[in-house]
Amino acid sequence: MFSLVQVELYKIFKRPRTYIAFGAVAALIGIIQFGLKVDGKSYLDFMLNDLSSSLEIDGKILNGYLVCYVMLQLLLVHVPLLIALIAADMISGEANMGTLRLLLIKPYSRTTLLLAKFIAAIIYTLMLLVWLAILALFGSMLLFGTDDMFLLKTSYVVLLKESDVFWRYIGAFGFAALAMTTVAALGFFLSVFAENSIGPIVATMSVIVFFTILSTLNIPIFNIIKPYLFTTHMIGWKEFFDIKVNASNEAIIGSIQNPEKIVKASLVLVAHTIGFFVATLLVFRKKDILS
Amino acid sequence: MRTSWLLVCYNRMSSVIQVQGLTKKFGHQFTAVNDLSFSVHKGDVYGFLGQNGAGKSTTIRMLLSLITPTSGSIEIFGMPLQTNRAAIMQNVGAVIEKPAMYEYLTAYQNLKIFSALSGVSKTRLQLLHELDVVGLAARANDLVRTFSQGMKQRLAIAMAMVNNPELILLDEPTNGLDPQGIADIRNLILQLSREQGKTVLVSSHLLSEIEQVATRLIIIDKGCKLVEGDSKDLFDTSKTVVEINTLNNEQALKELLQSNWSGQILVDRCNSKQVIMQLDEKLLPSLHKHLVELGIGVLSVKPMHSLEDYFLQITSTQKYV
Decide if pLDDT at A44 tops 80: no
Residues 92-111 of chain B with CB under 8 A from chain A are: 92, 94, 96-105, 109
Nearest Cα residue to B212 out of B167, B179, B165, B164: B179
Say yes or no for a CB contact (<8 Å) between B118 and A107. yes
Rounded to whole angstroms, the Cα distance separating B193 from B200 reads: 7
Closest chain A CA to residue B64:
A105
Contact B129, B204 (CB under 8 A): no
Portion 100-119 of A in contact with B at CB < 8 A: 101-109
Q: Could you tell me what percentage of chain A is helix, strand and coil, using 3-state DSSP and rounding each to the nearest 5?
A: 70, 5, 25
The secondary structure of B34-93, three-state, reads EEEEEEEECCCEEEEECCCCCCHHHHHHHHCCCCCCCEEEEEECCEECCCCHHHHHCCEE
Cα-atom radius of gyration of chain B, to the nearest Å?
22
pLDDT for B50 equals 86
Q: Which CATH architecture has domain B237-316?
A: 2-Layer Sandwich (3.30)
B218: helix, coil or strand? strand
Residue scoring higher pLDDT (A51 or A215): A215
Greatest Cα pair distance in chain A: 71
Cβ(B166)–Cβ(B153) under 8 Å?
no
How many separate helices (H) and strands (E) can be counted in chain A?
Answer: 13, 2
pLDDT above 90 (res A177): yes
Contact flag A288-B94 (C-beta cutoff 8 Å): no
Name chain B contacts of A6, Cβ cutoff 8 Å.
116
Which residues of chain A lie closer than 8 angstroms to B96, CB-CB?
Answer: 98, 101-102, 105
Phi, psi of B90 (to 5 degrees): -65, -20
Cβ-count burial B132-163 (b if 16+ within 10 Å, e if not): eebebeebbeeebeebeebbbbbbbbbbbbbb
Residue A135's pLDDT is 93
Alpha-carbon distance A11 to nearest alpha carbon in chain B (angstroms): 8
Instruction: Residue window 50-109, chain A: list those with CB within 8 Å of chain B.
Output: 97-99, 101-109
Query: Residue A156's CB: how many other CB atoms inside 10 A?
Result: 9
- Residues of chain A with Cβ-Cβ distance to B77 below 8 Å are none
- Of A8, A100, A102, which to mutate for an interface test with B (greatest number of B Cβ within 10 Å)? A102
Query: Which residues in chain A have Cβ-Cβ distances shorter than 8 Å to B102?
Result: 11, 14, 97, 99
DSSP conformation letters of B223-267? TEEEEEEEHHHHT-TTEEEEEEEES-HHHHHHHHHTSGGGGGEEE
What digits encode the pLDDT tens for the residues A49-74?
666 666 666 777 788 888 899 888 88
pLDDT of residue A274: 95
Residue B318: per-residue pLDDT: 47
Q: Please give, rounded to a whole number of angstroms, the shortest distance from the CA of B58 to a CA of chain A.
A: 8
Contact: A105, B66; criterion CB under 8 Å: yes
3-state secondary structure of B206: coil
Q: How far is CA B81 from the centre of its chain?
A: 18
- A47 lies within 8 A of chain B by CB: no
Residue B125, judged by CB atoms within 10 A of its CB (0-12, 13-18, 19+), counts as exposed
Spatial separation of the C-alpha atoms in residues A254 and A163, rounded to whole Å: 9
Say yes or no for a CB contact (<8 Å) between A107 and B159: no
Tell me the residues of chain B between 4 and 33 that have a Cβ less than 8 Å away from chain A.
Answer: none
> What is the distance between the alpha carbons of residues B69 and B75, in angstroms, rounded to a whole number?
13
Closest in A3, A99, A105 to B102, CB measured: A99
| Structural element, H or E, at residue A32 | helix A18-47
Q: How far apart are CA B321 and CA B318, in angstroms?
A: 8
Q: Is residue A19 part of a domain?
A: yes
Helix, strand or coil, per DSSP, at residue B21? strand
Q: How many CA atoms lie within 13 A of A183 on its CB side?
A: 35
Cβ B245 vs Cβ B303: under 8 Å: no
Decide if A247 touches B, using CB distance below 8 A. no
With CA atoms as reference, the chain B residue closest to A15 would be: B104
Q: In 3-state terms, what secondary structure has residue A49?
A: coil
Report the alpha-carbon distance of residue B176 to residue B173 in Å, rounded: 9
Say if CB B159 and CB B116 are below 8 A apart. no
Which chain B residues are closer than 8 Å to A2 by Cβ? Answer: none
For chain A, how far is it from start to end, CA to CA, in angstroms?
25
What pLDDT score does A145 carry?
87
Give residue B321's pLDDT.
Answer: 35
Provide, as residue numbers in chain B, all residues whose Cβ is less than 8 Å from the Cβ of A106: 89, 114, 117-118
In a domain, A168, yes or no: yes
d(CA B47, CA B81): 21
Chain A / chain B CB contacts < 8 angstroms: 76
Which residue on chain A is closest to B65 by alpha carbon? A105
State how far the Cα of A279 lies from the Cα of A190, in Å rounded to an integer: 10
Alpha-carbon distances, residue B10 vs B14, B48, B222, B268 (angstroms)? 8, 22, 31, 31
Domain-located, residue A291: no
Asked, for residue A134, whether it belongs to a domain, the answer is yes
Provide the pairing of β-strand B239-246 with B275-280: antiparallel
pLDDT for B319 = 45
B89 at interface of A, judged by CB pairs closer than 8 A: yes
Of B86, B101, B116, the CB nearest to A99: B101
Distance of residue B19 Cα from the nearest chain A Cα, in angstroms:
18
Residue B100 and residue A107: Cβ atoms within 8 Å? no
Residues of B in contact with A103 (CB under 8 A): 117
**Cross-chain residue pair A104–B98, CB shorter than 8 Å:** no
Total of domains in chain A: 1
B198 neighbors B91 (Cβ within 8 angstroms): no
In chain A, the residue whose alpha carbon lies closest to the alpha carbon of B157 is: A102
End-to-end CA distance of chain B: 48
Q: What is the pLDDT of residue B63?
A: 94
Q: Residue A206 belongs to what domain range?
A: 2-286
Helix residue ranges, H only, A147-236 = 166-191, 198-216, 220-223, 230-233
| Inter-chain CB proximity A101 and B103 less than 8 Å | no
In a domain, A45, yes or no: yes
Q: Which of A14, A16, A109 lies nearest to residue B86, judging by beta carbons?
A: A109
A6 in contact with B, Cβ within 8 Å: yes
Give the SS3 label for residue A98: coil
Q: In the predicted model, what is the mean pLDDT of residues A114-130?
A: 93
Q: Which residues of B236-250 are buried (b: 16+ CB within 10 A; e: fewer)?
A: eeebbbbbbebeebe
CB atoms within 10 A of CB A261: 14
Nearest to B280 by CA among B237, B317, B318, B232: B237
Average pLDDT, chain A: 87
Per residue of chain B (321 residues), give pLDDT as tens: 445 555 555 544 578 899 988 999 888 778 888 888 889 998 889 999 888 888 889 999 999 999 999 999 999 998 999 888 888 998 999 988 888 899 999 999 999 999 988 888 888 999 998 898 888 888 989 999 999 888 888 899 889 888 889 999 998 888 777 888 788 888 888 888 888 888 999 998 877 778 788 888 888 888 888 788 787 777 777 777 788 888 877 777 777 778 777 777 776 555 556 677 777 778 888 878 888 888 888 888 777 766 777 777 666 654 443
Buried b (16+ CB within 10 A) or exposed e, A174-190: ebbbbbbbbbbbbbbbb
Which residues neighbour B289 within 8 Å (Cβ) at sequence distance 6 or greater?
A: none
Average pLDDT for A195-203: 89
Q: B92 to chain A: which residues are within 8 Å by CB?
A: 105
Report CB contact under 8 Å: B92, A105. yes
Rounded Cα–Cα distance for residues B283 and B285 (Å) = 6
Among the partner residues A10, A15, A105, nearest to B94 by beta-carbon distance: A105
